[in-house]
């Protein structure tokens, strides 16, 4: 007999990680496709009750609450020990997570301890001949792969942030029942400190209407001047993909992507950015996306409304001229 789908809710000092709602939506869709009940699991400390009450507003069979003081602050070992107990007791068919930094930190360990597989960073699923087929991006989004599990359940899956719509998670007519489970993780081996930010963010890119973002394609820092000209004529903020900030060509607070800022401007103009997954998650919510890149296969064109395949050192000056013409 097939068993239920378990959705593991991630939450912390700043409340429920919004990516968890996406996983709830994914779990609900998977439950329908496989004809399985869907449950959520909330692990944590004193904030467990508030989180459980929030999760119980969604359409689920049960919310499983596992509270223990050793689970706060998060460490991978304590999280794994508690989840091994929950999973062993509930014997699910599938265990779902959002592919957050925290999930990358402990879920490979959890799956390995339970001698099971983890298909990480999936972007979708379908059911074929009663088998779950997951889709993943590979080679930085240049290719996609259909992937299946080998071996026995439970199967572990993490879904890419943004792959499902969190606001599409179905609401419950009456609150989902909350069931308390007992977990007993050991004292943590790691001593984590409080989360902190490096410096006050000088630029709030999330407020910008227009963003010109540059990537490796600009080749040398001296070419930033041309990009600054483009940003100036558009009245745009200048942003960048991670490698540009890693190289120190632009400050870190101008980085868009999973490790930088998440933006949703009216216009996002990507110049010389290939569109690695880590960048796309930070900008694919933009209303209009235009991209200039020399590689017609660049994944950035997957999300762009308008694409120009060409030499950016020719296209950008021409673009500046055209915009100046328009504005004069």
The reply to whether 129 sits near other proteins by the rule CB under 8 A is no
- When binding is defined by CB under 8 A, the residue of 172, 181, 203, 210 that contacts other proteins is 210
Element (H, E) at 95: strand 94-98
Match 């890419």 to its residue by tokens. 160
Contact (CB, 8 A) for 241 and 276: yes
The reply to whether 98 sits near other proteins by the rule CB under 8 A is no
- When binding is defined by CB under 8 A, the residue of 49, 50, 85, 136 that contacts other proteins is 136
Residue closer to other proteins (CB basis): 165 or 266: 266
CB of 146 to other proteins, least distance (A): 4
CB of 171 to other proteins, least distance (A): 26
Match 């990358």 to its residue by tokens. 104
Q: Give the integer Cα–Cα distance in Å for 270 and 285.
A: 14
Q: Which range, of 46-54, 60-68, 133-141, 166-174, touches other proteins by CB under 8 A?
A: 133-141
Residues in contact with other proteins, total (CB under 8 A)?
Answer: 90
* CB within 8 Å of 302: residues ≥ 6 apart: 141, 275, 280
DSSP 299: T
CA distances from 303 to 174, 189, 245 (A): 38, 43, 22
Contact characters 218-247, other proteins, x per CB under 8 A: ----------------x-------xx-xx-
- When binding is defined by CB under 8 A, the residue of 125, 149, 159, 164 that contacts other proteins is 149
CB of 121 to other proteins, least distance (A): 6
Q: Which range, of 38-46, 175-183, 221-229, 306-314, touches other proteins by CB under 8 A?
A: 306-314
The reply to whether 306 sits near other proteins by the rule CB under 8 A is yes
The reply to whether 288 sits near other proteins by the rule CB under 8 A is yes
- When binding is defined by CB under 8 A, the residue of 53, 142, 181, 264 that contacts other proteins is 142
Residue closer to other proteins (CB basis): 24 or 290: 290
Q: What is the DSSP string of 40-72?
A: EEEEESTTHHHHHHHHTTBS-SEEEEEE-GGGS
Element (H, E) at 319: helix 312-327
Q: Which range, of 29-37, 61-69, 83-91, 286-294, touches other proteins by CB under 8 A?
A: 286-294
Alpha-carbon torsion angle 50, 121, 166, 279, nearest 10: 110
The reply to whether 204 sits near other proteins by the rule CB under 8 A is no
Q: Which range, of 49-57, 165-173, 177-185, 293-301, touches other proteins by CB under 8 A?
A: 293-301
User: Per residue in 4-25, is it b (16+ CB within 10 Å) or e — as a string?
Assistant: bbbbbbbbeeeebbebbbbbbb
Contact (CB, 8 A) for 215 and 271: yes
Q: Which range, of 57-65, 82-90, 132-140, 173-181, touches other proteins by CB under 8 A?
A: 132-140
The reply to whether 47 sits near other proteins by the rule CB under 8 A is no
Please name which of 216, 243, 223, 239 lies closest in space to residue 286, comparing C-alpha atoms. Answer: 239
């Amino acid at each position: 007999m097939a068993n239920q789908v378990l959705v593991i809710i991630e939450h912390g000092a700043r409340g429920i990680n919004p990516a968890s709602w996406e996983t709830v939506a994914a779990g609900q869709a998977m439950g329908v496709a496989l004809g399985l009940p869907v449950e959520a699991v909330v692990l944590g400390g004193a904030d467990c009750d508030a989180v459980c009450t929030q999760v119980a507003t969604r359409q689920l069979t049960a919310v499983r609450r596992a509270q223990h003081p050793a689970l706060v602050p998060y460490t991978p070992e304590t999280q794994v020990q508690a989840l091994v107990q929950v999973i062993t007791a509930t014997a699910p068919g599938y265990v779902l997570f959002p592919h957050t930094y925290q999930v990358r930190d402990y879920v490979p360990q959890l799956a390995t301890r339970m001698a099971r597989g983890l298909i990480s960073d999936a972007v979708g699923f379908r059911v074929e001949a009663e088998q779950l087929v997951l889709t993943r991006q590979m080679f930085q989004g240049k290719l996609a792969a259909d992937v299946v599990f080998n071996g026995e359940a439970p199967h572990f899956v993490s879904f890419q942030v943004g792959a499902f719509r969190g606001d599409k998670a179905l609401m419950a007519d009456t609150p989902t029942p909350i069931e308390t489970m007992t977990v007993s993780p050991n004292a943590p081996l790691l001593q984590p400190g409080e989360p902190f930010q490096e410096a006050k963010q000088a630029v709030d890119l999330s407020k910008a209407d227009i963003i010109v973002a540059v990537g490796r394609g600009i080749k040398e820092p001296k070419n930033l001047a041309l990009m600054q000209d483009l940003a100036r004529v558009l009245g745009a903020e200048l942003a960048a993909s991670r490698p540009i900030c890693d190289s120190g060509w632009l400050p870190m607070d101008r980085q868009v992507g999973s490790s930088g800022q998440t933006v949703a401007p009216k216009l996002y103009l990507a110049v010389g950015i290939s569109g690695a997954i880590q960048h796309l998650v930070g900008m694919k919510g933009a209303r209009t996306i235009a991209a200039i890149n020399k590689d017609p296969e660049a994944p950035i064109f997957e999300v762009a409304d308008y694409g120009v395949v060409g030499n950016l050192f020719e296209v950008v000056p021409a673009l500046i001229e055209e915009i100046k013409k328009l504005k004069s």
